[in-house]
Structure 1
Amino acid sequence: MSEAKNKTLLSVDSLEVSFFTYAGEVKAVRGISYELEEGEVMGIVGESGSGKSVSSYGLMGIIPEPGKIVSGSIQFDGKEITKLAEKEMQKIRGKDVSMIFQDPMTSLNPVYTVGNQIDESLRKHTDLNKQQRKDRIIELFTLVGINQPEKRMNQYPHEFSGGMRQRVMIAMALACNPKLLIADEPTTALDVTIQAQIVELMKELKDKINMSIIFITHDLGVVSEICDKVAVMYAGNIIERGSIDDIFYNPKHPYTKGLLKSVPKLNADDHERLVPIEGSPVDLINPPKGCAFAPRCENCMKICLTEKPPVCHVGENHESVCWLNVKEEFEKESGK
C-alpha cells in the first residue's frame, strides 16, 4: 500500500450531536469514533433514524436548528473543525469536503440552471475565469456521463430525470476535486440500472483523484460493491465496524446479523422467507440505560438491560459493542 493511502484524512472522536426540542433533548449521535484514510471508502449503514446522516452533517458543519454538536472532536486533514467559525468552514465546505445529498430534486435550486449552480462553487473556491469555469463544467458533465454537456448545463433541474439529477449533484460535489466526498444515500429512489451506473462512476472517480468517500446507505448490496470497510449504526452509536469481509461473513453483533438476514440472496431457495428485525427503534429522548438494541434482541441477557456493553475487539480491525462477545470471550478463557 502506498504511503498516501496510509495517511489519516479524517478522525472522529466521541462525537455527540443533540437536537434540543420542546419535548426534550434528542440524542441523535451518542459518542461515535472512527478514522478514514486517504483514498478509502467507508460505508455507514443502519435503519432510518440511526444517526447516519446527522453525523455527516456534523462533518460539514450544517446541522440544522435546533441541533448542535454537544461534544467530541472532528480532525480533518490535521485540523480541528468543530471549533471553526462559519467563515472558515465555508472555505472547507464544497472545496475540501463535499456532499451528495439524498434527494437531488430538493437539493438543486429550481430557479437556476444546473450550470449556474456548479459555477457558483467554482467562483467561490477557485481562481478560474469565466471561460475556464465553463470548460470545467463541461468536463465534469462529461466525467459523470451527461450527454451534450454544453446544452445540458443551460437547463433547469426539472428538465433532468432522477438519475441525471443525481449525476448533476455528483458533478457539483466533485467540482473542486474534494479530498473527502460524503454520499448520503445517493442511490435511493433510483432504479437498479441507474444505481449500478452511479456506484460504478463513484468507484472510477475515487481511483482517478484518490478521493476518500463516506457512503451512507441502508442498502447492504451497494455497500459490498464500493466500500473498503463498514460502520453499522444503531440508535446514535456505532455498534460494529470492520472490513467488508468481517461484516458480511463474520458479523458479531445481533443487529448486524439481523440486517443481513433481511436482505434477499440470489442463491437462496425459492421459498426462503426474509427475516425482519422485530420491534421498533428506541426513543432517543430517553435512551435505555443498557444496550439500545436489547429490547429487540432475541439473545438479550439481564446485563444488557442495565449496563452499556464495552467495545470488544473480535478480530484485526474488527470491533463489536455487545455483551454476547464479552460472554463468548469469557467462556473461551475459562475453557467452557
Structure 2
Amino acid sequence: MENTITKKDVLLKVDGLEVSFFTHAGEVKAVRKISYDLKYGEAMGIVGESGSGKSVASYALMGIIPDPGKIIGGSIDFQDKEVTTLPEAEMLKLRGKEVGMIFQDPMTSLNPIFTVGSQIDESLKKHTELDKEGRRKRIIELFELVGINQPEKRLKQYPYEFSGGMRQRAMIAMALACNPKLLIADEPTTALDVTIQAQIIELLKELKEKINMSIIFITHDLGVISEICDKVAVMYAGNIIERGSIDDIFYNPKHPYTHGLLKSIPKINNDAHERLIPIEGNPVDLINPPKGCSFAPRCEHCMKVCMENVPPVYTIDENHEVSCWLLVKEELEKEE
C-alpha cells in the first residue's frame, strides 16, 4: 500500500536529534539521534524508564533545555520552522501559543508569589487579543474544563492553597489556554487519583478531536498510553529502540526491552499469585554508553554482535520499526 502522507500532513518532524549535558564528570549523552514525525491531530506516546531521555527530548522541542545541556545535532521542523535555529524572540511566540506543555512537577512549575489565575492570564495577555474580562471568562472556562471547582474563587488563590492534584489541573489549564496545535504532556496524570486521571485523559481526547490538537504524551504508564495515543515510541538510553502503532507495541512487540516493559506491569486477568517480572540490571551510564546496543548488558538474548555494533533500524512495515540485531538474525535464518 502506497504511503499517502505528505509534508502538509506533518506538524512536527524530528530528525537525528542529539542533546548532551556537559558536566564536570563528562558529556552525558541524554538524547542520541532520535527521529520521528507527528501528524496534525495525532497523539504519540513516549515510554521508557526514568533517565531514558523522554523529558529532555521534549524540552528540546520547547527550547528550554537547562544548563549545561545543549542540542548538538539534528533538526526539529515545526510547521516548516527550524526550531533549533529560531531566535529567542520567535521561540517566545511559539511557546504557549503554538506549543503548550504540561510539566511533570506542578509544585515547582507554578510561581508561589502570584495567584494561579494571574499566571494563566499572563499567557492569554501575551498570545491573544482578549480584553481583561474576556481573559477572566476564559480562565473560568478552563478551570471548569479541567474539573477545578469554584473557579471564580480559585483564580484568586495562590498555589499553596491548591492540593497537588489541583495544581496539576491548573497546569493543564495553563497549557491549554491558547488552544495550541501541539501539546506536550510530561507525566500529566502522576499526581492525580485514578478517577481524575480518567477525566483528564477524556478531556485531552476531546480536545484532540475538537481542535485537531496533536499530543506528545510522556509517561511510564503503558495503560494510559493505550487510552489516548495512536502510536508509541519506546525510548532506552537516549534512543528510540522501537516505534509503532498501539497494536504493534501491545500485541506484536519485537524489541526485548518492550517485552520487558509489558511483562513488568500488572494485568487485570492475571492470577492473584502471579509475580511480575522486572527487567534485570540497571540503566546504562550515559557518560560512557556501551559500544554496541545500549540494552545489550541487560538483554537475555544478547549476542556477540550486540556488544560490538549498534543495531540497524529494521522496518517491519511502514509504521513499525525496531533497532535490534534479533530481527536481522531472524531474517537471515529465513533466507537460509
Q: 1:6 to 1:224 in 2, by over 3 A?
A: farther
Give, in whole Å, the separation in 1 of the partners of 2:128 and 2:67. Answer: 30
1:262 to 253, 261, 264: 264
Deviations 1:176-224 (A, max 9, x none): 1100000000111322222222212211221121100000001111111
Task: Quote the residue 2:133 is aligned against.
Answer: 131
Q: Residue 111 in 1 paired to residue 96 in 2?
A: no
Q: Residue 277 in 1 paired to residue 318 in 2?
A: no
- State which drifts further: 79-88 or 226-235: 79-88
Offset at 1:330? Answer: 1.2
Deviations 1:17-43 (A, max 9, x none): 000000110000000000000100000
Offset at 1:110? Answer: 1.1
Task: Quote the residue 2:94 is aligned against.
Answer: 92
Give, in whole Å, the separation in 2 of the partners of 1:178 and 1:120. Answer: 16
Q: Show structure 1 runs of 4+ deviating over 3 A.
A: 2-6
Deviations 1:222-269 (A, max 9, x none): 111111000000000000000000000000000000000000011111
Query: Do the aligned partners of 1:5 and 1:39 also contact (CA within 8 Å) in 2?
Result: no
Task: Quote the residue 2:19 is aligned against.
Answer: 17
Offset at 1:148? Answer: 1.9
Number of aligned residue pairs: 333
Offset at 1:125? Answer: 1.0
Q: Residue 292 in 1 paired to residue 294 in 2?
A: yes
Query: Do the aligned partners of 1:4 and 1:38 also contact (CA within 8 Å) in 2?
Result: no
Task: Quote the residue 1:162 is aligned against.
Answer: 164
Give, in whole Å, the separation in 1 of the partners of 2:308 and 2:5. Answer: 45
With the length of structure 2 as denominator, give the TM-score of the two structures.
0.96
2:241 to 239, 246, 261: 239
Aligned partner letter, 2:225: V
Query: Do the aligned partners of 1:10 and 1:36 also contact (CA within 8 Å) in 2?
Result: yes
Give, in whole Å, the separation in 2 of the partners of 1:128 and 1:274. Answer: 52
Task: Quote the residue 2:181 is aligned against.
Answer: 179
Task: Quote the residue 2:53 is aligned against.
Answer: 51
- State which drifts further: 156-165 or 266-275: 156-165
Aligned partner letter, 1:158: Y
> What SS is found at the alignment partner of 1:20?
strand
Give, in whole Å, the separation in 1 of the partners of 2:289 and 2:314. Answer: 21
Give, in whole Å, the separation in 2 of the partners of 1:190 and 1:5. Answer: 38
Give, in whole Å, the separation in 2 of the partners of 1:205 and 1:6. Answer: 21
> What SS is found at the alignment partner of 1:133?
helix
- State which drifts further: 213-222 or 135-144: 135-144
Offset at 1:4? Answer: 11
Query: Do the aligned partners of 2:165 and 2:191 also contact (CA within 8 Å) in 1?
Result: no
Query: Do the aligned partners of 2:168 and 2:191 also contact (CA within 8 Å) in 1?
Result: no
With the length of structure 1 as denominator, give the TM-score of the two structures.
0.96
Task: Quote the residue 1:199 is aligned against.
Answer: 201
Matches within 5 A, 1:66-81: 66-81=68-83
Task: Quote the residue 1:33 is aligned against.
Answer: 35
What stretches of structure 1 of length at least 5 have no aligned partner? none
Give, in whole Å, the separation in 2 of the partners of 1:209 and 1:5. Answer: 20
Offset at 1:316? Answer: 3.6
Give, in whole Å, the separation in 2 of the partners of 1:5 and 1:310. Answer: 26
What stretches of structure 2 of length at least 5 have no aligned partner? none
Give, in whole Å, the separation in 2 of the partners of 1:226 and 1:62. Answer: 26
2:44 to 28, 42, 45: 42
Give, in whole Å, the separation in 1 of the partners of 2:63 and 2:93. Answer: 12
Offset at 1:6? Answer: 7.1
Give, in whole Å, the separation in 2 of the partners of 1:104 and 1:207. Answer: 26
* Superposition CA RMSD, Å: 1.5
Query: Do the aligned partners of 2:47 and 2:235 also contact (CA within 8 Å) in 1?
Result: yes
